Structure 1
């Protein structure tokens, strides 16, 4: 049985990350390909989502200072008592450099790095002239990223093949029997609600500009709420008391089944982020047949099927308003997007299929 070890790039994964690509892709190597998989991480909070990953081995190691984690990764590999066929890394982090160097010198296995990249990160933080970055870029056997545009950009910049593996879902999380009939007139956003990178203030401004034209539509904001966003919503309630029932600030929803129901009933998923790689929330919206409205984040070209969404420039309020108006006034398009985006999700965004692609790439690299 081949063995895969996934190393956390920083001291500890958060509970919510257990159900994101950093862990779900190794998990799919286990469930789909029969790998013996270990995910190594320290623990700073209760891992309540572990129950959704039956059979996965979490090797929970002692916590340490952030500055000591790179050395600890090397110590972990030194003390590992079995061969490792695949070392899975998540993100181009400096902490990985000593571990990759040790692995290449002492193991015969292959290295997969899933980048989880955004354009700011690769432009401003990753400098190939620094020997550590250069070593990682040259010595990972496979490097994948989540969008076509950044894939092509990095292949040219780093002068090496970059593979396309989009963020998606486990097959079990796709509901074949989901019906359009459960859809309601709901616009949804899931993620950190903040004025900065996630740009929630701009999202609220766009909704306010058009909501009175579409009195049956509601906006739901789910995720941790920064104080400035909470205050902004309170100010909106004071100015427009009638919006208290239509603008819902729901905070974090920990129960995955409850969260999934919000995706299932929403017809439109809206994100106005200023800087984003490939948010897992878009994959969750796609599998539930939401029409996607997105700012031009790095993977906007991969964010929906043709006819299943629209995009607008960062900070373009008129563009956001126009696309919102089009979406909310075209129920036939929203119904078509249900089928288009779910078909796209099934074809391109199922992790079990994506790990089979990883496996083919690994096998071709051995020739």
Structure 2
């Protein structure tokens, strides 16, 4: 049995399930790996047995109260217990950890760096030492085709990069899509009110759209930033007619409840000013939601050149209004595309298939 270690010291409840925990979990469940997540004890992780059964967790001791030294100390005594080391994001710490494992194992252990990149990777200029350390890593992957093509064309990181997208999972049971259960709802999920998510753009656009269309509703799911709460208060004060059409649910941690929101929405909207590869998009694709998003590289891959969605310029709420009008005026198009999109998503963004690719990349010769 192959042994896989994911190092993410700051893993929290959200990170563990939605982000860093999915690859080791799927490798365990579908490909017979023994998978472990190494992190500080940042949560009780009470949901582990239910949500990611079989994924082990090792708590990192704060011996030095320094992330790099704490992890190095752990690896010094446990490096032989694992065959593959995985880290997230390009950082000095992660480069050192991967190099340490390769040197101490005489290149017998495999290392995998998932860049988890956003636009900053395009402007990143690594030093000669960084390039050297990157070349010592077995697999370095990026999540979208735009970055993949650019990084390999320019050789900016001093090595070839592999394409490994993010995905979704369904516990091995694909739920049939029933478009008749979908309602005239626009859904968004994320950290509400952050500068990154630009939730105010979505709210302003829906306000303008609501004048032309009385049938659609907006559902906004996720923890709400305190700084954004006055905006919500003023929004409803100025638009009392929208109180029954715009819903702020707050965070929804129950996965089945959250999935029902996706299953009953026709459109998923993302107004982010910047992103890497947001997993909420793959969840929306899983349920055949038409995607309307800012023009981000990961979105282009997912909606297959605007076939299963539309993009608009960042911060352009008027353009977004026009897209809402266009889609609401084409109900038959949404009904046609919804099952097609789900099939496309399962073919290209399904975690078990993605993890098969990871397995092949890690053990290639």
TM-score by length of 1: 0.92
Q: Which residue of 1 aligns with 2:51?
A: 52
Q: Which residue of 1 aligns with 2:143?
A: 146
Whether 1:114 and 2:114 are equivalent positions in the alignment is yes
| Cα distance between partner residues in 2 of 1:344 and 1:63 | 45
Match of 1:84 among 82, 85, 100: 82
Alpha-carbon shift at residue 337 of structure 1 (Å): 2.5
Match of 1:22 among 6, 20, 23: 20
User: Cα RMSD over matched residues?
Assistant: 1.8
Q: Is the contact between residue 60 and residue 74 of structure 2 (CA under 8 Å) also seen in structure 1?
A: no
TM-score by length of 2: 0.93
Mean Cα displacement is larger for which, 29-38 or 282-291?
29-38
Structure 1 residues 178 and 340, CA gap change in structure 2 (3 angstroms): closer
- Superposition map of 1:254-265 within 5 A: 254-265=253-264
Q: Is the contact between residue 39 and residue 59 of structure 1 (CA under 8 Å) also seen in structure 2?
A: yes
The DSSP-based 3-state class of the residue aligned with 1:20 is helix
Which ranges in structure 2 are unaligned for 5 or more consecutive residues? none
Alpha-carbon shift at residue 171 of structure 1 (Å): 4.0
Q: Which residue of 1 aligns with 2:347?
A: 347
Mean Cα displacement is larger for which, 273-282 or 224-233?
224-233
Q: Which residue of 1 aligns with 2:6?
A: 6
The DSSP-based 3-state class of the residue aligned with 1:337 is helix
Q: Is the contact between residue 114 and residue 141 of structure 2 (CA under 8 Å) also seen in structure 1?
A: yes
Structure 1 residues 27 and 229, CA gap change in structure 2 (3 angstroms): same
Mean Cα displacement is larger for which, 258-267 or 300-309?
300-309
Structure 1 residues 54 and 38, CA gap change in structure 2 (3 angstroms): same
Q: Deviations over 1:276-332 (max 9, x none)?
A: 111010011110110000101231211324521110111223321221111111111
Which ranges in structure 1 are unaligned for 5 or more consecutive residues? none
| Cα distance between partner residues in 1 of 2:170 and 2:41 | 27
Q: Deviations over 1:221-251 (max 9, x none)?
A: 1111123322222212112211101011111
Q: Deviations over 1:131-165 (max 9, x none)?
A: 3x324422221111111001112222224221111
Q: Which residue of 1 aligns with 2:335?
A: 335
Alpha-carbon shift at residue 363 of structure 1 (Å): 3.2
The DSSP-based 3-state class of the residue aligned with 1:80 is helix
The DSSP-based 3-state class of the residue aligned with 1:82 is helix
